[in-house]
Structure 1
Amino acid sequence: MKQNLSNARQNFLQRRYAVSLGRRYVLAAASVMLMGVIGCSQLSNSNNRAFAQSQTPQSELPISDKPASIDTEIVSANTKFGFNLFSQLLIRDNSKNIFFSPSSIALALSMTYNGASGSTQEEMAQALELQGMSLQQINSNYAELKASLENPDPQVTLNIANSLWVDRNTSLKPKFIESNQNYYQAQVTNLNFADTRASDQINDWVRENTEGKIDKIINKINPDEVLFLLNAIYFKGSWKKEFQSDKTAEFPFYLSSGEEKQHPMMSQSGDYTYYETENFQAVSLPYGENGRVSFYIFLPKQNSELKLFYDNLNAANWEKWMSKFVKREGFVRIPRFKTDYETTLNDALSALGMQEAFSNNANFSEMGNNLKISQVKHKTFVEVNEEGTEAAATTSVGIQLTSAQLPSQKPFEMIVNRPFFCAIRDNQTRSILFMGSIIEPIDSKKIDS
C-alpha cells in the first residue's frame, strides 16, 4: 500500500509539472499557518528518545484503494466556522476589502486542537463547530479531506503541506507530534532556535511550499519561542473559459459611498451555472477541465445592498443557494482586481467561544506544559485577471507560557460594477477554500506598472 501511495504521488508530481509547463492561464493560491510556542522546559532522556523517533519518516495512513468517502460533518463544520468567522471580521472591517482562507485557518487550528485538553478543548470545539466529534474522527476526516482535495483536476493543482519546527531543547508530547505526522502528514524538524539561520530554514520551507507566493513568515525567533507549526495551501489552475484581453475595457464601478470610479472590466458570454433571487445575482466561473473548483460571485441587486446580503449569509443559506444554481446562457462582466488583507483573529475567535485558549487558564497539556495561545494572525493576497486568479494567505498562531437549465428564460446579464462577495469552492467536497468581500477593486496592472 505504501508503494501504491508512493506511485500515486509520483504520478501527481509528474502531472503537475506537465501542467505547469503547458498552461498560460492559472489560478494560484497559497496559505501558510504559523504557530510559535513559547516555553523553557528541557527534554527528559525518555522524551528525547521519543522525540528522536518522531523525526523519522512518518508512517502512511491505511488508505483504501477505493475513493475515500468524505464525512460531510467535517465539511459542514468548516463551512459554519468560515461564515461565523467572516461575520466577526465584518464587524471591524466592513469598510474595506476582506479576503481570507477559512480552510487554512480551520486546518491550522485543528492541528493545534490535538494539543488541547479539558475546557480549552471544549471551547475550541465550539468555535470550530466540532462539537460531538471525537479527536480520532476529526483527524481521520481531515486526512481523507486532504487526500480528496489534492489534485482535483488535470489542469488544477491543489497542494496542502504541514510542518512542525521544534527547538531542540523543547519537550513536546510524542502523541501530539505523531498525530500531526500521521493524519496531517506534517514534516517535523528539530532546530537550534538560538541559531540565526533557523528562521531562514523555516522561511525556505514556506517559500517552497507556496511556489514563492509567500516569501517569509518569520522575521526572527524570540528567545522564548520553542515551536512553529506551519500549514501551506497552494492552488493553481486556469479558467475553464478564459477571458480575452481585447474585451477588457474601462467601465464605471460604483463604491458603497456612491462614488463612481472607472475600472478595467473583463467580459464574456456563454453558458454558466447561475442563480438569481430578488436580492442578488450569483454566478459560478469554473477552473480546469472538469470545473470541480469554481470562483463564485454574489452581486446584490441595485435595489439592494451588500449589508443585506451579509445579514442572510450563513452556512444554512449557503447550502440552500448552492443547490439552486442552474445552467443559464448569459453575459458576465467582472472587475480585474488585486487586494491584500491582514488581521489579528484573537478577538474574532474569542467571540466565537474560544476564550480560554488565550488566557492563563489555557490547557494545552496534550502538547506540553503551561502553554497558551498568544496571537493568531492572518494575511492574504488575491489577484483576478484575464489569465485567472492568484491568491495567498498566511496564518500565524503564537503560543506562550501561561503568565437544471431553463431554456425558456432569456439570457441573463450580470454586471459586477458594485461591491460583491466572492468565494473559491471545491464543488465535490463542498469545501470553501477562500472567501471575501470586495468593496473597492484595485487594478493589478496599474499597481505592477
Structure 2
Amino acid sequence: MSDPKENMALLLQSETDFGLGLLRQQNISESLAFSPLSIALALSLVHVAAKGETRDQIREALVKGSTDEQLEQHFANISAALLAAERGTEVKLANHVFTRAGFKIKQSYLDDVKKLYNAGASSLDFDNKEATAEAINNFVRENTGDHIKKIIGSDSINSDLVAVLTNALYFKADWQNKFKKDSTFKSEFFSSADSKREIDFLHASSVSRDYAENDQFQVLSLPYKDNTFALTIFLPKTRFGLTESLKTLDSATIQHLLSNVSSTSVNVQIPKWKIETKLGLEEALQSLGIKKAFDNDADLGNMADGLYVSKVTHKALIEVDEEGTKAAAATTVSISLKSAMFVMEEPKDFTADHPFFFVLSKDNHPLFVGLHH
C-alpha cells in the first residue's frame, strides 16, 4: 500500500465493505441507520487491546490488507479530518474507556488509546449498576448532542464485566442548498407492492445537483455547506428492487458512483425522514470474521489477561429535513472476564417514493449508512 492515491482507494473500499457487510447481516426489509465509523472506532479500542489472531481478525475486518500501524494511522487521520469540519458543520467524536474500579487494566493500554484515539478513561464502581450505566449514558448523551440518551441499561452491568469501550459520534450540518419549506408536500411512499403511506417530501424542481446513474440505481448526492460532507441516495430504478439490488451492490460500485456524480438538472423529491436504530452486533461481527474476540480463546492481553468481548451495542439516528441533517451514533463494546460545467437539458426526475439505500459521507468515507423503507 505505497501509492497514497491507491492506498486511499483501498481504504475507502475497505470501509465501504465493512459497512455493506454489516448492512447485509441486518433485517434489510425495514428502515435502519448505523455508523460503520462509530463501530470501527469502538473496535479500534479493542484492536489496541488484542494480540495474535484476535488482533489480526479485527484488523482484517476493518481495513483488509493493512498493517496494525496503517489501521491506527487511518482511524486517527479520519478522526482528525472530521473534527476539522468547517462552515457551520458540527462534528463531535469521542472515545472513552470505562473500567471496573479495582480491576487492574494495563496502564500501557490506557496510554496507547489516549495517544492514538484521544480516548479518555474513568474507573467506576461497577457494583453500583445504576450509577455506572448513568455515567456511560451521560457520556454518550453529551457527545451526541443529546440525541442518544441511553445505550446501556443497568441490567447489562454484571459481575463479569470489567470494561466498556465507548465511541460517540455526532454530525449536524445545513445543506449547501436548503429545500424551501413551502415546497414540502405530502405524497405517497410505497414501501412494498401492498404497502404505502403518506409522508412529507422535500422538493426542488429543475435544480442543478450532483447526479449519476448505472443500470440499477439513480444516484443523487446532496452536499452540506462544508461540501466535503454529502448525503447520497441510491434509488433503485426498479420500484421494489432494493433487496435484489443490495445482493449484488459492492463497495467498488458505491465508490465509483460516489466519485462520478456530476452537475445535472434534476427534479428532486425525497422523503423528510427520521430513522433510529439499535443493534446488537455480536453475530454480525463474527460473520465478518471477528470470531476470536468473542470466544474463550480471545487474547486481549494488551489490556489484561483472561478477557473477551461479551457484547457490542450500537445505536444510531439520522434526521433529514429542509435545513439539513442531524445524525448521531454510539457504540459500546463490553469486555468481560472469561467464564469465567453546465448544459441545459431535460431535468432528470429523481422521485424517491420507494425504498432506497443512503450513505452520509466525508470525502467519500461512509460515516452513516442505512435504508429507508
Flag whether TM exceeds 0.5 (same fold): yes
- Inter-CA distance 250–110: structure 2 relative to 1 (3 Å threshold): same
Equivalent residue letter for 1:311: K
Is 1:437 the counterpart of 2:371 in the alignment? Answer: yes
State the Cα distance separating 1:415 from its structure 2 match.
0.8
Check the 8 A contact 1:361/1:402 in 2, yes or no: no
Alignment counterpart, residue 290 of structure 2, candidates 337, 354, 362: 354
Give the match's secondary structure for 2:75: helix
Residues 376 and 70 (structure 1), Cα distance of their counterparts in 2 relative to 1, 3 Å cut: farther
Which entry has the higher C-alpha Rg, 1 or 2?
Answer: 1
Choose 411-420 or 389-398, whichever is displaced more. Answer: 389-398
Residue in structure 2 matched with residue 340 of structure 1 by the alignment: 276
Question: Structure 2: which amino acid aligns with 1:117?
Answer: K
2:170 maps to what in 1? 234
The answer as to whether partners of 1:240 and 1:287 remain within 8 angstroms in 2 is yes
Q: Relative to 1, partners in 2 of residues 1:319 and 1:266: Cα closer, same or farther, differing over 3 Å?
A: same
Q: Which has the higher strand share?
A: 2
Superposed displacement of residue 199, structure 1 = 3.4
Q: Is 1:381 matched with 2:317?
A: yes
3-state SS of 2:148 partner:
coil
Give the aligned partner of residue 77 of structure 1: 14
- Identity of counterpart residues, as a percentage? 32
Say which of 147, 151, 159 aligns to 2:92: 159
SS of the residue corresponding to residue 276 of structure 2 reads: strand
Instruction: Find the residue that maps to 1:255 and give its secondary structure.
Output: strand
Mark the CA change 1:408 to 1:435 in structure 2 (over 3 Å): closer, same or farther: same
Task: Assess if the C-alpha contact under 8 Å between 2:126 and 2:132 holds in 1.
Answer: yes
Verify: 1:129 aligned to 2:63, yes or no. yes
The answer on whether the counterparts of 1:71 and 1:141 sit within 8 Å (CA) in structure 2 is no
Aligned residues of 2:162 and 2:337 also touching (Cα < 8 A)? no
1:203 correspondence with 2:137: yes
Runs of 5+ consecutive residues of structure 2 not aligned to the other structure: none
Match 1:282 to one of 219, 224, 238: 219
Q: After TM superposition, give the deviation of residue 224 of structure 1 in Å.
A: 2.8
* Separation in 2, partners of 1:385, 1:211: 17
Q: 2:304 aligns with which of 340, 354, 368?
A: 368
**Bigger shift: residues 292-301 or 405-414:** 405-414
SS of 2:29's partner is coil
User: How much does 1:381 deviate?
Assistant: 2.1
TM-score by length of 1: 0.76
Residue 96 (structure 1) shift: 1.0
Deviation at 1:69? Answer: 10
| Paired position in structure 2 for 1:174 | 107
- 1:406 positional shift: 5.9
Pairing partner for 1:190 from 123, 138, 141: 123
Residue aligned with 2:49, SS = coil
What runs of 5+ residues in structure 1 fail to find an aligned partner?
Answer: 1-67, 440-449
Matched, 1:411 2:347: yes
CA distance in 2, matches of 1:304, 1:191: 49
1:86 aligns with 2:20: no
Letter in 1 for 2:272: R
Distance change (3 Å), C-alpha of 1:304 and 1:276: farther
The one-letter code of the counterpart of 2:16 is T
Give the distance between the partners of 1:132 and 1:147, measured in 2 at CA: 20
Over 3 Å counting, the alpha-carbon distance change for 1:69 and 1:300 in structure 2 is closer
Cα distance 1:347–1:199, how it changes in 2: closer, same or farther (>3 A)? closer
Aligned to 1:272: 209
SS of structure 1 residue aligned to 2:147: coil
- Relative to structure 1, the CA distance from residue 177 to residue 316 in structure 2 (aligned partners, 3 Å threshold; closer, same or farther) is same
Question: CA–CA distance in 1 between the matches of 2:85 and 2:71?
Answer: 22
Residues 233 and 70 (structure 1), Cα distance of their counterparts in 2 relative to 1, 3 Å cut? farther
Q: 1:69 to 1:139 in 2, by over 3 A?
A: farther
Do 2:31 and 2:275's aligned partners in 1 also have CA atoms closer than 8 Å?
yes
Letter in 1 for 2:244: L
Aligned residue in 2 for 1:115: 49
Structure 1 residues 388 and 70, CA gap change in structure 2 (3 angstroms): farther
Distance in structure 2 (CA, Å) of the matches to 1:100 and 1:235: 13
Give, in angstroms, the shift of residue 432 of structure 1.
Answer: 0.6
> Is the 1:115–1:366 Cα contact (8 Å) retained in structure 2?
yes
Given residue 65 of structure 2, which amino acid in structure 1 is its aligned partner? Q
Q: Match of 2:189?
A: 253
- Whether contact under 8 Å (1:74, 1:142) holds in the other structure is no
Aligned to 1:10: none
Change (3 A) 1:197 1:263: closer
Instruction: Give the RMSD, CA atoms, in angstroms.
Output: 2.2
- Matching residue's letter, 2:335: I
SS of aligned partner of 1:252: strand
Give the structure 2 partner of residue 141 of structure 1: 74
Q: Which runs of 4+ in 1 moved over 4 A?
A: 68-71
Residue type at the aligned position of 1:108: A
- The size of the alignment, in residue pairs, is 364
Preserved contact between residue 13 and residue 252 of structure 2 (Cα < 8 Å):
no
1:143 offset after TM fit, Å? 1.6
Cα offset for 1:252?
1.7
1:98 shift after superposition = 1.9
User: Deviation string for 1:46-70 (max 9, x for gaps)?
Assistant: xxxxxxxxxxxxxxxxxxxxxx999
